[in-house]
Structure 1
Amino acid sequence: MHHPAEHHNLGKGIACGIGAGALWGLVFLAPELIRNFTPLEMAGGRYVLYGLFAAAMVAPRWRILSHTVTLRTWWTLNWLSFAGNTAYYILLSSAVKNGGITSTTLVIGFLPVLVTLVGSRDKGALPFRQLLPSILLCLTGAGCIGWQALHTHVQTVARAPLFGLLCAVAALGSWTLYAVGNSRALVRQRHFSAHDWNLLTGLATGAQNSVLLPLALILDTTPHSMGQWRNFALVSAAVALLASLGGNALWNRMNQLLPLTLVGQMILFETLFSLCYGFLWEQRLPTGAEALAFGCVVLGVLLCVHAHRKPTTQAVGRSIA
């Protein structure tokens, strides 16, 4: 016997996580599409538009929302916006531009391990031993991608591999801080819907980047053609709409449905989709090591889901006995 409502939430939460990963994976392609612009400009353009889109969507409901948003809420939104959006995207863009898509994806692939480890310390979380198989599979998958990155032509396109690696590691730390902080903030702020929290995050992020973008434009002395500016605007708008508005909304909804230990595993889908987009961009099929990595990632998520379902079933069995 099962708790149908709980299993329904589990399935719905996983579906939201997969959707968020599919949309977030696009951000790994964006730096390749507009390589003539700096990471500061990429972050500024994306997030100023994210803020404008969010402002337009939140305006009809602002009178109601304004009564529930306190100074403490704005403080939380601002540091989460900086860690998970502004700083993360600047670091990620720098990592992709200097180290390449694959090596960056490898480092970011360790996010699930870090978030799951932190989540395992939460009250009522699954014991670490039950999460260990999925974590080991995640590490195996990341190792396969890393081995492939070091032994193929992909690494040769890197401009500054060491600097790219450092940026990727810093991005990993920044987004881990965001993932854990955002998940716990949503638990405390249950009076906000996932959609409203996303729009408020957009307002905070847009405000930060309205200062960053003019500075980035002043610092960049590279001349750009009208065509390059058009591409910059289109890519920034697409990433703002799809990854920031769409992806963040799905991610926040997932956070309300799943425990942090399972939230960590859902980040793997961003890695999977970013690799798929990378293959399409490079016009090639995955190698044996990359295919093995895919298998490890999928199996790891399935094991983690199974571990989270077992306690529910066992608890029901004990209550019937």
Structure 2
Amino acid sequence: MVVNKTWLGIGSSIVAGAFWGLVFLAPKLTPGFQPIQLSAGRYLAYGIVAAVLVAPIWRRLAGRLTWKEWRALIWLSFTGNIIYYVFLANAVQLGGVAMPSLVIGLLPVTVTLVGSRDKHALALRRLVPSLALSAAGLICIGWQSLSGPGHGSLAGLLCAIGSLVSWTIYAVSNSRWLARLQSVSAHEWSLLTGVVTGVEALMLAVPASIAATASHGTSEWFYFAGVVTAVAIFCSVLGNALWNHASRTLPLTLVGQMIVFETLFASLYGFLWEQRWPTALESAAMVLLIAGVVSCASAHRNNAG
């Protein structure tokens, strides 16, 4: 039964990664819009969709939460959504898809290292093989992206590092909160996060309008609205719900490894966007990253047995 739950959690995290990988394409699909406009638009749409879905059970949920939980939702929404996506959109526009994908690909390492300090977590020495495989895969991606032309600016790299730090904080904090909550499901917690994120995104509306450096026609605004709404539904509503299910089912050290699928899918979408096959180094990187996840899953399965 434990093994079945583990594999269900792994499957949920893989699908979440497939949805999240689409986030890296959004800045490329909307090159005439500023990153802060993308963040505000995406999370306003997320907030609206989440509010509609949570409305029938709002009164019941609100009665189960104290100010402590609401404060956590405010913090998680700000770090894991608003700040993360502002940094990421800037990184993609300044450095392309490959460089921020590489940096975000370090999430399995950062989250797993932080999670290894949790009670009942698998000993870090048991995770050395999977971490080594993941690191080797990331070195391959780094060598490929940094050896080619146009690998991005220092500002883009710093933005990518900012997104890495903010999402590491979110992933660890969110997983720990889900472990504490008893009266709220993972999907309900995701919807509540969406509502709070939508409220926070309202505060971005003014600076987003000030940041606008170009005027757009009606058709461009409709196109922009379609892109951010699609990202909100697939990446935020569905992706976050699946991720919360995985976070509640899997130990944090294994959840950290699952984030690698966001990098893999982001790379795949990047190849499709650029209409090319992966290079030998990129192919080796994907094999190594997958091997690292399989190794980590095997270590947890043996530990459960």
Cross-structure match for 1:253: 245
Do the aligned residues in 1 keep the contact of 2:21 with 2:263 (CA within 8 Å)?
Answer: yes
Do the aligned residues in 1 keep the contact of 2:257 with 2:293 (CA within 8 Å)?
Answer: yes
Cross-structure match for 1:34: 30
| 1:279 matches 2:275 | no
Look up the equivalent residue of 1:24 and give its one-letter code: W
| 1:97 matches 2:89 | no
Q: Secondary structure at the match of 1:124?
A: coil
Do the aligned residues in 2 keep the contact of 1:111 with 1:176 (CA within 8 Å)?
Answer: yes
In the TM superposition, residue 235 of structure 1 has moved relative to its aligned partner by 0.5
State the alpha-carbon separation in 2 of the partners of residues 55 and 102 from structure 1.
Answer: 34
State the alpha-carbon separation in 2 of the partners of residues 171 and 199 from structure 1.
Answer: 22
Cross-structure match for 2:148: 152
User: Which of 25, 46, 68 is the matching residue for 2:21?
Assistant: 25
User: Which of 203, 211, 215 is the matching residue for 1:211?
Assistant: 203
Q: Deviations over 1:274-293 (max 9, x none)?
A: 00000000000000000000
User: Percent of aligned positions with the same letter in both sequences?
Assistant: 51
In the TM superposition, residue 153 of structure 1 has moved relative to its aligned partner by 4.1
User: Which of 244, 259, 268 is the matching residue for 1:267?
Assistant: 259
State the alpha-carbon separation in 1 of the partners of residues 287 and 42 from structure 2.
Answer: 33
Structure 2: give runs of 5+ residues left out of the alignment. none
Cross-structure match for 2:218: 226
Q: Secondary structure at the match of 1:68?
A: coil
User: Which of 127, 132, 153 is the matching residue for 1:131?
Assistant: 127
In the TM superposition, residue 72 of structure 1 has moved relative to its aligned partner by 1.1
Cross-structure match for 1:58: 54
Q: Secondary structure at the match of 2:79?
A: helix
Q: Structure 1 length as normaliser, TM-score?
A: 0.93
State the alpha-carbon separation in 2 of the partners of residues 248 and 312 from structure 1.
Answer: 26
Of 209-218 and 195-204, the range deviating more from structure 2: 209-218
State the alpha-carbon separation in 2 of the partners of residues 199 and 154 from structure 1.
Answer: 39
Cross-structure match for 1:306: 298
Q: Deviations over 1:66-109 (max 9, x none)?
A: 21122111100010001000000000000000011001111111
Q: Secondary structure at the match of 1:191?
A: coil
Q: Secondary structure at the match of 1:272?
A: helix
Do the aligned residues in 2 keep the contact of 1:34 with 1:228 (CA within 8 Å)?
Answer: no
In the TM superposition, residue 154 of structure 1 has moved relative to its aligned partner by 5.4
Cross-structure match for 1:185: 177
State the alpha-carbon separation in 2 of the partners of residues 219 and 302 from structure 1.
Answer: 44
Look up the equivalent residue of 2:61 and give its one-letter code: L
| 1:81 matches 2:77 | yes
Q: Structure 2 length as normaliser, TM-score?
A: 0.98
Number of residues paired by the alignment? 305
- Runs of 4+ aligned structure 1 residues displaced above 4 Å come to none
Cross-structure match for 1:289: 281
State the alpha-carbon separation in 2 of the partners of residues 312 and 195 from structure 1.
Answer: 26
Cross-structure match for 1:317: none
Root-mean-square deviation over aligned CA pairs: 0.9
Structure 1: give runs of 5+ residues left out of the alignment. 314-321
Q: Secondary structure at the match of 2:209?
A: helix
| 1:140 matches 2:136 | yes
